[in-house]
Chains A and B, each alone.
Chain A
Amino acid sequence: MSEGLYKNVLTRNNLFKVAKIIAILLILILISQPSIAKTVYVGVYQNEPIIFVDGGKVKGFYADIIDEIAKKEDWEVIYVVDTFPNLLKKLESGEIDVLTAIAYTKEREKTYDFNKETMINNWGVVYSKEDISSILDLDGKKVAVVKKDVYYQEFKNLARNFGVNCEFVEVDEYYQVFELIDRGEVSSGIVSRIYGHVNEKKYNIHQTPIIFAPIELRFASKKGNTWVLKEIDRNLAELKSDPDSVYYESMEKWLGLEPRVKHEHLPRWVLWVFSAIFVFVGFIIYRNYYLEKEVGKRKKELEEEYNQRRKAEEMFRMVVENQGEGVAIVDENENFVFSNPSGNRIFGVDNLVGINLFEFLDEDGRKKVLEETQKRKLGKSSKYELEIIRKDGERRTLLVTATPYFDANGKFLGAFAIFTDITEIKEIERKLKESEENLRRTADFLQRLIESSPIPILILDKEFKVLLWNKASEEIFGWKAEEVVGKSVFEFQVAEEDREWVRKSLEVALRDDISVKNVNKDYTKDGDVRIVEWYNFPVKENGEIVGIAAFGVDLTEKEKMLEMIKENEEKFRSIFMNSPNSIVITNPEGVITTANPQSARIFGENPFGMSVGEIDAELLELVQNAIAKKELVEREMKIKSRIYRTSFIPVEFSNELNCVILSQDVTELTRMNRLLRVINDINDLIVREKDTEELLRKSTDKLAQIDEYYSVWCGWIDEGGIKRVHYSGKSEMNPKVVDKNLRCIRKCINDKKTLVIEAGERSQFCPYYDLEPSTNCLILPIVIDSVVKGVFIIHIQGGLPNNEEMELLDTLIRDIAFALRTVEMEIAKMRAINQLNRNIEHFAILIDGIRNPLAILSGLAEMKMGGEMQKTVMEQVLKIEKILKRLDEGWLESEDIRNFLKKFEKG
């Protein structure tokens, strides 16, 4: 604070003493009014020490003043004690005439009348048990307040302006505010500074730097009910004008605030002015009663001016001293000449005065201050940040607003500075920035994550309209984000049959704040349907649910795969059960654990639990071999008179190697293969062999090479029966002739078809009657030009041939028959050609034999004869010659035929 300011205060105090003398004189000349006792209902609430009830008595600063005024104005005072909010109601209803200790505001003046004289200045203070240094610290905290309290209203506005969101706990009295803080039920509480000043020691709480809303405490009455207020004003002005009055005594007594006006002195010029006024007023009293009124008026004006200035000074001091911000003055050498308590606290010292600012600065800080001081010297104000180092080494950042001050001659005296410790704010800013950066990075990361996610992610609002539609959603469902944003998923995406229950499910998620999982069908843009498992989570903003985040897993392919697996399983089961092959599975010891119906042919009807070694020791050996080597083993095995191509496949089930034995009955196939090989050999014979008997002999031998063909007999039919051409086989039965009248033979010859005689059907007349009873008999006719020329009789063991084998045998015999016929034809042809050759040669010799004598005759006639005789002979020679020429032509035709046959034979 400047030196000039103190000077002004002193001047005002002296003025006050003079005014006091004038007031006494005025009172002396005033005519006393007759008094009538009036009943005044005065509203009182607990606001110690301003007004309160203690031991059934109303006490406090206001009580003393009321009592004093009542005494003077002859009031009968009835105190009505209640809570402050209730008293406001009672004031409005007229139940009380006047309410004490009410803060004056323009807002309240619309409802109540206020007296003009201020009882005392007051302001709001925040108390707490916690370390609260700024209003920002109260964000989100519980703050106790008195209902309808002016500080409550003001603080609420202040908090709103700072963007601070507090939870207010309303009570009726200030003491309840302190109790709530003390019990820790609230973080902080708001009371008047006077209440706090007097009562804070009773509780384990402390005053925070947060002060606000300076106000004036006055009296209030119901609108229009102003007489009480006028009397109060009149008396109050009087009391306030007297430094020794009850007003100041009571103030000191209750509030502990010593009035500054009491012991201060006015400047000399004011004394002169007021002395002159004194003389002037005495003159007026003496001369003119009316002038007294003018003096009184003037006096009142002066008093009001004084009061205003005093109040301003008081306010200024109060503001400066209770300022949360530091206020300090430094001289031109940076020495502190003044600092308010906040300034001291910020610098961490009891009193800054006398300390040089540079003691708190490092090199950079000093440089900064020197630069700033240069600006001050040029008369410039500025705002800048400065880092100080407290004595304990703690660094604090201050926001300094500095203004230069000069003396009357313009000499630079120093700077006036207001500074705020913004260390926490800077830290908060830093953290906020860091947090924002983190938040931004997180948001970026989330954005990238969502966009690059392989799964569809949607964000829907509360009406299920699309807010976000990521790339995976575009790829899976076909719609671009711009096509679907703003549309409800139930309009286009969720399949119609699933819409109702999916909507209900999402509504539950929104209502109960829970996540839900759906598996539903969704449409794609192409009209396909996909099965998607959705995980839906409520999305919150400032604690309020604003929509749904949905994460999808496309199960379409998985479902298809499961369906396929199921189908395959059924297929494999069907294949297993209906396989024509025997399939059994054994454990490593060769014990059958699984078997299909076909396995009964090898292993019996109930093979479970049986060892394969019981059927064939080699089977068990091969199972163990396959498992040991972990390799497929294949064998062709004869089991129970059948041939099986058997595979031993090691397969791992239930963490142990098992063996699948797959057996294919290849008995017929094997026989067929052998037969085919034989047929191939016989076909070679057919091509090469030109001797029919040799062809039949060799064909018989080849057929007998087939293991199951026990005996093969071939015979040629003539009048005496069927005569053996050849026999080959294991049987000793080898008849030279077979009776062609045997029933079976006759049937075969008549039908010209193969006859099958099964074992057991053999006739007693059969030459093979004594043959092995299990053999079956086939009689195959050799048919040439629709006539049966011979037969093959084949006896077979190991079952009858199947249809394919029978067809092959029939074809083979037909081929042999054809070959036989072809050979016979060839022989006949060769004979014909040879005869033709002989005939042609003979014919030529004959012609030659005729022409020779003809040539002799012709020559003799020409050489030895003449006349008619020669002529006659030559005519006859000519006739013979003509006949011979015709014979020549016939010979030529025969020669052409022979040449053709020669070519055909070559071809």
Chain B
Amino acid sequence: MADAQTSEPIRPVLAREPLVTNGRSMSWVTNKICGIVENRQPALWWYLFIPSVILMGVLGYCLAYLVVTGVGVWGNNHPVGWGWAITNFVFWIGIGHAGTLISAILFLTRQKWRTSVNRAAEAMTLFAVICAGIFPAIHVGRFWMVWFLAPVPNANGIWQNFKSPLLWDVFAVSTYFTVSVIFWYVGLIPDLATLRDRAKKGIRKLAYGFFALGWRGANRHWRHYEMAYLLLAALSTPLVLSVHSVVSFDFATSIVPGWHTTIFPPYFVAGAIFGGFAMVLTLMIPARKIYGLQDLITHKHIDNMAKIILLTGTIVGYAYIMELFISWYGGNKYEQAAFENRQFGYYKWAYWAMFFCNVISPQVFWFKYCRHNLWVVMAVCMCVNAGMWFERFVIIVTSIAQDFLPGAWDFYHPTRIEIWTFVGTFGLFLGLFLLFLRFFPVIAMSEIKGVLPESDPHYLPPETFTHDAEGEKLSHKALKKTAKKTAKKATKKATKKATKKATKKKKN
């Protein structure tokens, strides 16, 4: 058997960029990811967590104040019944879409690079949907009436209107959240088992053990597990496309000029994925740096995500321009007025900020340099995060601030309570994400191990080959020597850099 192996020549294959760099082993992956959960958190974690908790408190205060006082504490007025609350709802729910896209659609299309980012992106989805869920619940003012949304008859025996997009939205968002939790949890089970096996005693062992369900990694289990995962991915794919489509129906099925357009569902979905990827990068680039995950989340991952941002950003830009074209070509004067107001009316600054952030700024990703410079990537992502919020604000507020009757027009501006409620949801989002980093494996270990080259049952280590593709004899001693040399050079460079930094610090 051994002889047969050694006489095989290396087959000429195009080398792919490795998904995990520096040839890391399985146990390295386990130690690295579990180490984040098992060791003390870096000081920066606390510097971020404490303000997040304070902001959560601010959010709680604002919500309590609203419920006790009434929606009058917000800036909503007569034409603008949907102000920041619905803007924020659509903003947060859109953020979640990138997580499901990475976990479901990229799984079905066999994009193996997703394994490094899917866990964190799915967690981000859940937290974004939690933040989103707050707003529809409170925007009705009388919070204790929120059960009217559930499919139960009220005191007069009247049921909900199932023909209304607002009720579809209730079903879409709650299904989305539930399915995302299930998908996330199913993915977590093998990794929780790893944490259980590494924990020696106490609450840690008990808690991880409980949620790992006694997972033994048996292949008879993997068989059903993989099928469950595949089915969940296949179910989530149309689900994620449907959720933002249904959100867009809230607007598109009304007759308000600026809302009443058929382009909304695809436009909203592209925008959601666009904004969500920007948020994934906003969270993962610092996390990658802080926890030293550069070998797992490589430049290839960031490059791929930047390309998706470029693609979806361009689709969004197309939608903006197409909306303008249709309003002119459609010949409806109310529609034309709505779009004129959007660009040159009360809120023109919001429209142009949106246009710059969402359409112009991602265009730098055409250049490889920009996709590889993390500062540029972060800057563009921040632009997109802001731009996507402006998009929802522009769609919602500009359309209703100036609708059919000029006599009813009014300017809308948010109150302090509204602003702090929104800022507070960032605290909730970041706080939950930091807790996730603290208690859960941030990268799906079992999936990462599955994409390592040695995980292929037909993989042979390079030492087993005696001839290369051209039939020439390979000298493994020589190969090893060169490998050692390059490794030495790399370490020398690294130490030089470190000493340079240290001397700089001393000088300062």
Q: A and B, one complex? A: no
Chain B interface (Cβ < 8 Å from any Cβ of A): none
Chain A interface (Cβ < 8 Å from any Cβ of B): none
